[in-house]
Amino acid sequence: MSPRVLSGILLVLLMAGPLVLPEFHITLLNYIGLYALVALGLVLLTGVGGLTSFGQAAFVGLGAYTTGYLTTAEELPAVLSWFGASPWLTLVAGLLVTLAVAGILGLLTLRLSGHYLPLGTLAWGMSLYFLFGNVSFLGGHTGMTGIPPLSLFGFELRDGRRLYYLIWLILLVAVWMTQNLLDSREGRAIRALKGGGIMAEAMGVDTARSKMVIFLVAAAFAAISGWLYAHMQRFVNPTPFGLHIGIEYLFMAVIGGAGHVWGALVGAGLITVLKQWLQDLLPRVFGASGNFEIIVFGLLMIFVFHRARDGLWPLLARVVPVKRSARAVPSGQPLARRAHPAVGTRLLEVRDAVKKFGGLVANNQMSLEVHAGEILALIGPNGAGKSTLFNLVTGVDPPTSGEVHFLGDRVDGRSSREIARRGMSRTFQHVRLLPAMSVLENVAIGAHQRGSAGVAAAAVHGERGEEARLLAEAARQIERVGLVDAMFDAAGNLALGQQRIVEIARALASDPSLLLLDEPAAGLRYLEKETLAELLRKLRDEGMGILLVEHDMDFVMGLADRVVVMEFGEKIAEGLPEEVQSNPAVIEAYLGGVE
């Protein structure tokens, strides 16, 4: 069965629902739809982006309370009065309020490392909840009544059966847009957030922006859900927007499968039905009334994390008989290339760079130059400070003093993203690929800065032309390094040597003038080294400048035009390979420690 047929069947079933099902089930399905919309935002935020929020219920509350207030208030302030005209306008208002609040909270917390964001969400989830319950114009703990029903083209969506179609239409559109977004240039950047932050920045991705995007999208989904909820219930009070409900939303996403858009639906469905059933069953079992279902939910969550870390959707997807279509090598018009400097132009100049970590001087008065069309090798014993220098040049760490110039501009102190945009690209000593993504997608991240389509275009797949060109460029670079056969394999399944080559392809996809390679030959077999050397020579002959940090002497001596030798953070020699080899200081450094 193809995925298309399967989703067609499901869609027909969904459409037929209100015609055959009893009221109770329709209500349940409506709730599932509303919850799934919030959980979908969390799939994007938590499952894909690696950011966690316990406070989504508060965003749902913002959406619900905004429309509740604007459609029921007796006298609105003049500026707001026109919002009260239609619930559709209050949706806009609710989104604006939510995005503003989320934007502020995001600015405060997204820059912080992993666990501060969820802790922050716990706190503001609490605080918004108490605010809803204590502000008199929002009705306090009793809430607000008399919210009008939605109407569409003069047709009132007064009961659940009618609202059903709107809820599910909105949900399916949201799922479609989320899927589109993830399968795009912006989506690759988002998928790189989890475990690939440094790499993504080095490829020119603005990771702070990507984080903000998913945070806002998730908040917007929650606000829409809240708006629908308010007009379905026609009444709002603080209870459904408390922290425990926020936690439940997260559970839905995690149990369903936080890495997959359909996981949101599975999780929301499961938790909603289970809750309904347990709320009925448990008080009878225990002979007391109360929310005992949270015991089961808690244990269920722990179980999922112990036994099925990726949630239920992957297990479900394995059972469903869906055939995957074969992938074709992408084709598209070549991307525009940057103007590369002529051979011999000075690309990179490091002047008296010093880097101190506390009292430790990792780099001392380091200077070097790389020109277009040459390979400069930076060698030295382990711990000599080569990687530190690499980080100074690429903007991962700013130098303590000294200057770095790239193509005539001073770049020290700039971010690695800005430096990457100017035409410098790098590989990492410890391979930084996204193991679950295909080689093609990994390499396409390298071309990120050569595209421009935004989130909105990606969400409706209005950028397919550019996307095809980006993927075609990635495919070209994969071909160039000789990995065509592995193009659609998950990068994590490749041998270490091949992974290093993928890193080079990714760096090349950014069309760099200067290529920085951090120990590219480490872990490579002899023949692989030969192939790599040949590729690097070809690139040099095309006019690219290459700075190579390497440990393997044979590899360096046969390849480099010039060599700089470092020891204890300082340059001890510089010159042609033959000169360096016979330099007594170099011999001492390499053979050091023995008389």
Partner 1 sequence: MDIQIALLLAQDGIVNGAIYALLALALVLVFAVTRVIFIPQGEFLAFGALTLASFQAAKVPGTLWLLIGMGIAISIIELASSSRLRGGRRRLTFALGWNLAYPAVLAAIVLLAKPGDWPLVLQVVLALALVVPLGPMIYRLVYQPLASASVLVLLIVSVAVHLALVGLGLLFFGAEGSRTPAFSEASFSLGDVTITGQTLWVIGASLLLIVGLYLFFERSLWGKALRATAINRVGAQLMGISTTQAGKLCFLLAAAIGAMSGILVAPITTIYYDTGFLVGLKGFVAAIVGGMVSYPLAAAGAILVGLLESFSSFWASAFKEVIVFTLIIPVLLWRSMTTRHVEEEEE
Partner 2 sequence: MDAPILAVDELCVAYGKVEALHHVSLTVRAGEIVTVIGPNGAGKTTLLSAIMGVLPRSSGSVAFLGVEQGDVEVERMVALGMTLVPEKRELFGDMSVEDNLLLGAFMRRRLGHRDEQQTMAEVFGIFPRLKERRGQRAGTLSGGERQMLAVGRALMAKPRLLMLDEPSLGLAPLIVREIFHVIGNLRKTGVAILLVEQNARAALRIADVGYVLETGEVAMSGSSEELEGNPRIVESYLGLGGKR
The least CB distance from residue 305 to partner 1, in Å, is 5
254 binds partner 1 (CB under 8 A): yes
Q: Work out the burial of residue 153: count CB atoms within 10 Å of its CB; fewer than 13 is exposed, 13-18 middle, 19 or more buried.
A: exposed
Closer to partner 1 by CB, 149 or 195: give it.
195
205 binds partner 1 (CB under 8 A): no
The least CB distance from residue 264 to partner 1, in Å, is 16
Q: Which of 115, 284, 318, 324 binds partner 1 (CB under 8 A)?
A: 115
50 binds, among partner 1, partner 2, none (CB under 5 to 8 A by kind): partner 1
The least CB distance from residue 127 to partner 1, in Å, is 4
CA separation for the pair 429, 89 (Å, rounded): 53
360 binds, among partner 1, partner 2, none (CB under 5 to 8 A by kind): partner 2
277-304 core/surface letters (b: 16 or more CB in 10 A; e: else): ebeeebeeeeeeeeebbbeebeebeeeb
H or E segment and range at residue 351: strand 346-357
**Binding track, positions 299-318, relative to partner 1; x by CB under 8 A:** xxxx--xx--x---------
Q: Which of 148, 197, 575, 577 binds partner 1 (CB under 8 A)?
A: 197
| Residues contacting partner 1: total by CB under 8 A | 50
β-bridge mates for residue 410, sequence order: 405
Q: Which of residues 209-248 bind partner 1 (CB under 8 A)?
A: 244, 247
Closer to partner 1 by CB, 34 or 243: give it.
243
Q: Which of 370, 423, 390, 351 is nearest to 520 (CA)?
A: 390
β-bridge mates for residue 571, sequence order: 566
Q: What is the CA radius of gyration of the chain?
A: 29
Virtual torsion, Cα 382, 379, 195, 215, nearest 10 deg:
130
Q: Which of 75, 148, 118, 186 is nearest to 457 (CA)?
A: 186
**Binding track, positions 391-430, relative to partner 1; x by CB under 8 A:** ------x---------------------------------
> What three-state secondary structure class fits 393?
helix
Count of C-beta atoms within a 10 Å radius of residue 166: 17
Cβ-proximal residues to 113 (8 Å cutoff; 6+ apart), any chain: none
Q: At what angle do helices 160-182 and 207-233 cross, to 10 degrees?
A: 170
Q: Which of 18, 41, 50, 385 binds partner 1 (CB under 8 A)?
A: 50
**Binding track, positions 142-181, relative to partner 1; x by CB under 8 A:** ----------------------------------------
318 binds, among partner 1, partner 2, none (CB under 5 to 8 A by kind): none
Cβ-proximal residues to 535 (8 Å cutoff; 6+ apart), any chain: 480, 481, 482, 504
Q: Which of 17, 149, 195, 482 binds partner 1 (CB under 8 A)?
A: 195
Closer to partner 1 by CB, 118 or 380: give it.
118
Question: Quick one: the chain helix, strand, coil %, rounded to 5?
Answer: 60, 10, 30
Which residues here bind partner 2, judged by CB under 8 A?
Answer: 359-360, 381-384, 435, 492-497, 499, 519, 522-525, 551-554, 557, 568, 581-582, 586-595
Residues interacting with partner 1, by CB under 8 A?
50, 52, 54, 105, 108-109, 111-116, 118-120, 122-124, 126-127, 130-131, 134, 195, 197-198, 244, 247, 250-251, 254, 286, 288, 290-302, 305-306, 309, 397
